[in-house]
Amino acid sequence: MSAPIVVHQPSPTGGRRVTVRGEILGLAHSDADVFEFLRRAGLPEAEGLLDDPAWVTWRGGRAHHYEAA
């Protein structure tokens, strides 16, 4: 089973798209943005999830980096 949260590769202009089970939550420019998107999606304890591969897949680029590709 794949992780329900995906932080996609950095965009050419910076930021990373964040999806949960295929639903786009927004374009994050920092971990704080990801936490806010996940809080709004009903995961208030999201801060501990970003480094858990059972919950989050980081695609393209390094985890926690949001600079332009």
Amino acid 7: pLDDT? 98
pLDDT at 1: 67
Give per-10-residue mean pLDDT for the chain (69 aa): 92 96 97 96 88 95 92
Residue with tokens 């590769």: 9
User: What CA–CA distance (Å, rounded) separates 47 from 34?
Assistant: 9
DSSP string, 11-55: PTTS-EEEEETTEEEEEESSHHHHHHHHHHTT-TTGGGTTT-TTT
Decide: pTM greater than 0.85. Answer: yes
61, 69 contact by CB (below 8 A): yes
pLDDT for 2: 85
> HSE on the CB side for 4, CA within 13 Å?
9
